[in-house]
């Protein structure tokens, strides 16, 4: 993590960035033929994977909201396979976690 003026920069290794790109491109391809709700699964899984890489490469994030949110996503994303209503509820709630985080940072910076 480096500080550039007021911005914090998180780092991915080349391997992690390429893996993430490969995942996104492959998810786009298979979304052509998978059931539409799988698209939601790939996106929330992408969020989890990105956090996984960020946590690997930026140890200071261990104290942030990310380990907890990643754990929560990994537990609840698989509900898609056996409990659709609970899965949909989880998706509706998920953005609030990151929204609260962004808002809190903005307020702290003001």
Partner 1 sequence: MSEFSPEADAFFQTLKTRRVCRSYTDQPVADAQLRRITEAGRWASSGGNRHIHKFLIVRDAETIRRVRSVAPGMLVEPPAMIVILTDKEAAERECIQLDVDQINQGDVGTAAMNMQNMAHALGLGSCPVTSFSHSGVGVMLGLPDHLEAEWIIMIGHPKPTQRGLGTGAPKPLTARDLTWWDRVGHHDPV
**Positive or negative, the Cα torsion across 22, 23, 27, 28?**
negative
Q: How many residues sit in the footprint of partner 1 (CB under 8 A)?
A: 24
Q: Which residue in 1, 11, 18, 100 binds partner 1 (CB under 8 A)?
A: 18
**Which contacts of 86-91 are long-range, i.e. CB under 8 A and separated by 24 or more positions?**
91/40, 91/44
Answer for which of 83, 95, 98, 105 binds partner 1 (CB under 8 A) is 83
Strand-pair category, 2-4 with 7-9: antiparallel
Positions touching partner 1 (CB under 8 A) are 18-19, 22-23, 25-27, 29-30, 34, 38, 42, 45, 75-76, 78-79, 82-83, 85-87, 89-90
């Amino acid at each position: 993590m480096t500080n550039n003026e007021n911005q914090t920069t998180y780092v991915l290794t080349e391997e992690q960035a390429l893996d993430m790109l490969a995942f996104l491109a492959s998810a786009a391809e298979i979304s052509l033929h998978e059931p539409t709700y799988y698209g939601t699964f790939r996106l929330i899984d992408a969020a989890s994977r990105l956090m996984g890489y960020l946590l690997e490469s930026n140890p200071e994030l261990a104290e942030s909201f990310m380990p907890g949110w990643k754990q929560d996503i990994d537990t609840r994303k698989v509900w898609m396979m056996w409990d659709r209503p609970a899965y949909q509820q989880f998706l509706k709630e998920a953005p609030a976690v990151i929204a609260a985080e962004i808002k809190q940072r903005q307020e702290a910076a003001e």
